[in-house]
Structure 1
Amino acid sequence: MTKTVTCLYQDQDKAAVIVSRLEQAGISRSDIDVYTDVSGDLIDDLDDAGVPRSDAHAYAEGVRRGGSLVAVECDEEEVDRVIGILDGEGLLDLDEQQTAWRSEGWQGYDASTSGGTSRLGTAAAGTTGGLTETSGTTYAGSDRTDMSDRDEVIPVVEEELHVGKRDVGGGRVRIHSRVVERPVQEQVSLREERVHVERRPVDRPLGDADEAFRDRTIEAEERREEAVVSKEARVTEEVVVRKEAEHRTETVSDTVRRTEVDVEDERNIQGTGTTGSTDRKV
């Protein structure tokens, strides 16, 4: 069954934040209505949706005073989730607002004092103001429930804080090696041989004629040393890359929410003729 939840907020900015949260939660924009200005059209829309005329006037008065009215159409199983989103900053209690306005002399909404109606979104046909079925109506802005032959349930919710862990990058170290060349010089002593042939005149008697008069060959080889270059690679330094892990304890602070329910019992107490009022917080 389709239901509609209506809430009155302090101003258009607060309503815009709620609309953004609804869209982020997957609620279609076509299922969300936002009223920022009022005229008879607003009251007629709420009246056609099944909202009592007095509450429609109160909503219109709240909008006339600068508030914004948000109406969300949703399926029955989504009601609790939608109420949890709507219960945000800037939400006004309709009963408290009417009490304050009456203390200022307000006696009901006067349509002749308003301007045009500005609606953001498209109202869905067949919906009603507040959180409703055909047999009863609930108004999220005023926290009132018109009970019929069914139970209305207000969930009492408490958030728990769960802290997990995830890996995040902390930057990286990149080491790149490259080859460079530089000129070097070394001195080496080299030996070089040379053959010299010298003819010099002499004048002396020949002692052994037979030995002198025969063929002879004398060879002398020149030799020299030249530089030979060889290279030897030696390790002169090591660059070691390692990762070290350490553990630390971090305190995570946040806030958690919980639902508090105030019960006001204004029924007449049988047999005493007086009216009892009991405030009970759940």
Structure 2
Amino acid sequence: MSKTVTCLYQDQQKASEIVSRLEQAGISRGDISFYSTFSDDLIDNLENDGVPRSDAHAYAEGVRRGGSLVAVECDDDEVDRVIDILDDDGVLDLDEQQTSWRSEGWQGHDTSTSGGMTGGLGAAAAGLAGSLTGSSGTTRTDVGAGNDVTGSPDITRARTDTAGVSGGDEVIPIAEEELHVGKREVGHGRVRIQSRVVETPVSEQVTLREERVDVERRPVSGTTQAGTIGGDPFQERTIEVEERSEEAVVSKEARVVEEVVVRKDVEQRTETVSDTVRKTEVDVEDERTVRGTGTTGSTDGKR
């Protein structure tokens, strides 16, 4: 039989954290309903999720006042695990909230027309009582703010009254917590290496050779006869002399002078996680008086 476990939280951030924890615990996202915005259809949507109409009105009022509601549909064997996740800091006690709202003028839902629910217990207690007597269908289990799930006053009262009305047995659940340690990755910052090109002015000296041609005309003394030097002076001739010079030529060669190596080392360590787990212990005090003859308290069962 499926049940709908609901919790009202004081803000959307806390409710979102709870939804993430439910998904990490393996609860299907399709079984989780998250309400953080009030709408005219909110009450009907909550009823479709299995929330009684009286509580649906209260939850809708809580959402309208800025709260956020998380509803989880689960099987009987998953209820305790879901409640352990939902029962966290930031959860609001629905009964206390309704009392406060009524003092401000809020009317709520008229329980006299809600199918015979007991006003003293509220819809949460009546829904739980139905599950204890073996009723079928969808039952809502409400988690109270700050209450131990195994010892919540509302839960205990619901079970006691159920025994008186239906003639069934009184039941005290014996619960025990298990410690589950998981892992998550946490960032510790990052190392960023970026290369860039920097230009640095450099200078180098080089010796260059330059040729220059000078043309000079000089007079010749009158004692020198024509034809004695250089042959026939009337012979045509051409002399070419080329001027040459050197200029600087720049070339560059790239070579690797250093390397930057980025390496990530992975180490494993074993860490001991210590916490406390809760379990229910029951002390039975039998103050009955046995009447009649014979020996009482014998171990062989004879009287």
Give the TM bin, normalised by the shorter chain: 0.5 to 0.7
Q: CA deviation at 1:250?
A: 1.6
Which residue type is aligned with residue 240 of structure 1? V
Query: Any gaps of 5 or more consecutive residues in structure 1?
Result: 1-17, 37-44, 52-68, 93-128, 139-144, 277-282
| Identity score, percent | 56
**Take 1:240 and 1:160, find their aligned partners in 2: how far apart are those partners?**
46
Cα distance per residue 1:96-148 (max 9 Å; x no partner): xxxxxxxxxxxxxxxxxxxxxxxxxxxxxxxxx9205xxx616xxxxxx6485
Q: CA deviation at 1:254?
A: 0.9
Which residue type is aligned with residue 201 of structure 2? P
**Larger Rg computed on CA atoms:** 1
SS for the counterpart of 2:284 is strand
Which residue type is aligned with residue 127 of structure 2? D
Tell me which of 33, 49, 66 is aligned to 2:95.
33
More strand by share: 1
Relative contact order higher in (CA < 8 Å, ≥ 6 apart) = 1
Match of 2:127 in 1: 75
- Kindly tell me: are residues 166 and 209 of structure 1, through their superposed partners in 2, closer, same or farther at Cα, counting changes over 3 Å? closer
Tell me which of 248, 262, 265 is aligned to 2:286.
265
- Root mean square deviation of aligned Cα: 4.5
- Kindly tell me: are residues 261 and 79 of structure 1, through their superposed partners in 2, closer, same or farther at Cα, counting changes over 3 Å? farther
1:192-231 → structure 2 map (5 Å cutoff) = 192-203=210-221, 204-205=224-225, 206-207=227-228, 211-231=232-252
Tell me which of 147, 160, 168 is aligned to 1:86.
147
Cα distance per residue 1:40-61 (max 9 Å; x no partner): xxxxx9xx9486xxxxxxxxxx
More helix by share: 2
1:153-232 → structure 2 map (5 Å cutoff) = 153-203=171-221, 204-205=224-225, 206-207=227-228, 211-232=232-253
Q: CA deviation at 1:229?
A: 1.4
Q: CA deviation at 1:268?
A: 2.5
Match of 2:103 in 1: none
Tell me which of 258, 264, 272 is aligned to 1:243.
264
Tell me, yes or no, if the aligned pair for 1:71 and 1:130 is still in contact at 8 Å: no
- Kindly tell me: are residues 275 and 89 of structure 1, through their superposed partners in 2, closer, same or farther at Cα, counting changes over 3 Å? same
Match of 2:77 in 1: none
Cα distance per residue 1:196-225 (max 9 Å; x no partner): 112222332332785433110000111111
Tell me which of 142, 161, 167 is aligned to 1:137.
161
Tell me, yes or no, if the aligned pair for 2:124 and 2:140 is still in contact at 8 Å: no
**Take 2:178 and 2:290, find their aligned partners in 1: how far apart are those partners?**
40
SS for the counterpart of 2:290 is coil
**TM-score (norm: length of structure 1):** 0.52
**Take 2:126 and 2:213, find their aligned partners in 1: how far apart are those partners?**
116
Q: CA deviation at 1:86?
A: 3.1
Query: Any gaps of 5 or more consecutive residues in structure 2?
Result: 1-6, 19-32, 34-50, 60-93, 101-110, 112-116, 132-138, 298-303
- Kindly tell me: are residues 173 and 238 of structure 1, through their superposed partners in 2, closer, same or farther at Cα, counting changes over 3 Å? same
